[in-house]
A = this chain, B = another copy of it.
């Protein structure tokens, strides 16, 4: 009888972990050039495709850098890369076992103000729906939002009843974006927002800005403000 080894098929995650282990062990050091995919494949006894996948995973977490013809290098200046999930505000509140309500403070058609145009990177003003709303959890202020919706991209929003629909929710369900940009920072509560949030003027608020596009068309830009105690969480990609 032939002593056929069961030919242990190598999973791409195993390959990834092997490479990672070699980096941790110092076999591949910061800035080093790694062997070609094909060579690693030959060494490990799997296909180049499998190595390719493992390498891509490492590249996507910022551990290595790949360039055609240049090969794969261990990144000399690594970055911390994480993935961030922001749910619909209503569901976020409900998940905490609290009651969700929201209140529309303002809904007005306007020309896009300069700061919104700047965020969208557009030069000509566009017609937008300007909304101001307050999200509440158990009747307590949860998030204040100041939103602009592009009326060219989303004409339907003019016919909606905002006391029933949260813009947050309607947009995310009906106008899937293909690109989003987020910004976080700490700010002192401005005089026009502090009373709505039930905090003193100058109190610390988390400032969240979100801009979304569908292709090259602006969808919406939101400035949100959340009080102390509100957290944004992120994790490394499970990969």
Chain A residues close to B by CB (< 8 Å): 20, 23-24, 30, 62-63, 77-88, 91, 172-188, 202-207, 210, 214, 226-236
Contact = CB atoms under 8 A, between A and B. Distances in A.
16 contacts: A24-B176, A24-B214, A78-B88, A80-B86, A81-B84, A81-B85, A82-B83, A82-B180, A84-B84, A179-B235, A182-B235, A184-B234, A185-B230, A186-B230, A188-B204, A206-B206
Which residue among A176, A179, A180 has the maximum number of chain B CB atoms within 10 Å of its CB? A176
Contacts of A86: 79-82
A138 to B, nearest CB: 20
B228 A185 contact: yes
Given A20-B178, A183-B231, 7 more contacts: A77-B91, A80-B182, A80-B210, A81-B85, A180-B236, A184-B184, A186-B230
Contacts of A182: 80, 82, 233-235
Given A84-B84, A87-B77, A232 B20 contact: no
A83 B80 contact: no
A62 B176 CA distance: 10
A79 to B, nearest CB: 5
Q: How many copies does the complex hold?
A: 2
A232 B184 contact: yes
4 residue pairs, one from A and one from B, having the closest CB atoms = A204-B204, A186-B206, A80-B86, A182-B234
A204 B87 CA distance: 25
A82 B78 CA distance: 19
A84 B82 contact: yes
Contact of A180 (B80, B188, B206): B80
Contacts of A176: 20, 23-24, 63, 78
Contacts of A24: 175-176, 214
A231 B187 CA distance: 10
A81 B83 contact: yes
A148 B210 CA distance: 33
